[in-house]
């Protein structure tokens, strides 16, 4: 096992100040060739009539960048090295964004036509961050369902009703006021990790709110191949393990000794959320072996990251250009 690859040539996080637009949509893309055309078409429909820009930051090995250039000449494309993690793709896009509201999504998500306006209305209503429902696509397969439940089971049903406050929102379908992001932009040098950003919002004591709104629905999938997803889960686990060990959140022996149990704990937690919802039950059970395999990749990465935290490049704050 090796530590996740280093993200090269990260830009400075000084955002452009001129020609501010209403909305910037940052699309992080990792092996999105199967869905990027539909994702961009949906964003075009959702932002029609809005002063908006779409920024795709791609780190694929499947030719997604070429698809972007072919599909939509109005999209601004930035390509980074394959293996770059999604939070770094998002922070790179943020550094390019001009919007008073910045939305984050991925090349595997297809948004509804009302998506952009619903997110803007939520921010204009006083929220610092907003999200909508995130559901599996009808075209998703077993691997896609496994990743969906592993990452998003905590948000099942959220965004389907009226506005509701939340401690967390999924970073793959979220928008934030530029003011809230700017207050913490210095922390994005190692990537935009939404959970860490939300934690910072909660402790700043400025009345920041995260809410789910109706109308900002996004469908997830099809996603990347299994091995690509497993590598990503391992790399994200490395980041988590290194962070926990370096900050003292958990001791090194605790992390390493608990690693064999972590996949069972994760899957058990997901099962409690999903099995009570008949609409998701059968898909979850069919995808269960893949879900467990991806959880194992995460747990292995967390143990490795804790053991080699000084060598985990996703934690190293890059030198920013002057």
pLDDT digits (tens, 9 = 90+) for 218-256: 999 899 999 999 999 999 999 889 888 887 778 888 888
Tally Cβ neighbours within 10 Å of residue 245. Answer: 24
CA quadruple 198, 78, 219, 236: dihedral sign: negative
Domain ranges of the chain: 21-220, 226-315
Q: 21-220: which CATH topology? A: Spore Coat Polysaccharide Biosynthesis Protein SpsA; Chain A (3.90.550)
Tell me how far apart the alpha carbons of residues 276 and 278 are, in angstroms, rounded to a whole number. 6
Strands of the sheet containing 52-58, edge to edge, are 76-79, 52-58, 21-29, 99-106, 174-177, 129-131, 210-212, 164-165
Q: In which element (H, E) is residue 211 found? A: strand 210-212
The answer to whether the CB of 134 falls within 8 A of the CB of 170 is yes
Spatial CA neighbour of 216 closest among 273, 148, 158: 158
DSSP readout, 59-123?
--SSSHHHHHHHH-TTSEEEE--TT--HHHHHHHHHHH--EEEEEEEETTEEE-TTHHHHHHHHH
pLDDT per residue as tens digits for the range 87-127 = 999 999 999 999 999 999 999 999 999 999 999 999 999 99
Task: Say yes or no to pLDDT of 293 above 70.
Answer: yes
Higher pLDDT, 29 or 20: 29
Task: Say yes or no to pLDDT of 320 above 70.
Answer: no
Higher pLDDT, 33 or 6: 33
Mean pLDDT of the chain: 88
* Average pLDDT score over residue span 203-220: 91
Q: Which residues pair with 78 in a beta bridge?
A: 57
pLDDT per residue as tens digits for the range 157-184 = 999 877 788 999 999 999 999 999 999 9
Task: Say yes or no to pLDDT of 311 above 70.
Answer: no
> What percentage of the chain has pLDDT greater than the value 70?
90
**Confidence class for position 17, pLDDT limits 50, 70, 90:** low
pLDDT given at position 16: 61
Task: Say yes or no to pLDDT of 155 above 80.
Answer: yes
First-residue to last-residue Cα distance in the chain: 36
pLDDT given at position 35: 95
The answer to whether the CB of 89 falls within 8 A of the CB of 193 is no
**Token output for 247:** 């900050």
Q: In which element (H, E) is residue 174 found? A: strand 174-177
């Amino acid at each position: 096992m090796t530590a996740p690859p280093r993200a090269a040539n990260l830009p400075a996080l000084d955002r452009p100040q001129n020609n501010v637009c209403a909305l910037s949509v940052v699309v992080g893309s990792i092996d999105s060739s199967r869905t990027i055309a539909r994702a961009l078409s949906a964003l075009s429909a959702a932002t029609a009539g809005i002063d908006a820009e779409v920024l795709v930051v791609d780190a694929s090995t499947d030719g997604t960048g070429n698809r972007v250039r072919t599909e939509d000449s109005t999209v601004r494309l930035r390509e980074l090295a394959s293996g770059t993690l999604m939070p770094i793709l998002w922070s790179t896009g943020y550094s390019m964004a001009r919007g008073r509201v910045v939305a984050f999504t991925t090349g595997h998500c297809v948004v509804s036509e009302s998506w952009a306006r619903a997110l803007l209305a939520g921010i204009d209503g006083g929220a610092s961050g907003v999200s909508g429902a995130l559901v599996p696509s009808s075209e998703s397969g077993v691997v896609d369902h496994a990743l969906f439940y592993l990452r998003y089971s905590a948000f099942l049903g959220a965004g389907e009703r009226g506005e509701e406050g939340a401690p967390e929102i999924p970073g793959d379908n979220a928008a934030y006021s530029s003011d809230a992001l700017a207050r913490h932009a210095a922390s994005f040098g190692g990537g935009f990790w939404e959970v860490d950003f939300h934690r910072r919002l909660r402790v700043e004591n400025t009345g920041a709110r995260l809410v789910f709104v109706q109308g900002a629905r996004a469908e997830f999938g099809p996603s990347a191949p299994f091995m690509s997803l497993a590598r990503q889960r391992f790399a994200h686990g490395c980041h988590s393990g290194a962070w926990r060990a370096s900050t003292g959140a958990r001791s090194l022996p605790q992390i390493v000794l608990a690693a064999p149990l972590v996949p069972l704990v994760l899957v058990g937690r997901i099962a409690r959320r999903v099995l009570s919802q008949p609409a998701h039950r059968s898909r979850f059970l069919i995808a269960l072996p893949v879900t467990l395999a991806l959880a194992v990749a995460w747990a292995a990465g967390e143990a490795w990251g804790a053991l080699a935290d000084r060598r985990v490049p996703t934690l190293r704050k890059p030198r920013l250009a002057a």
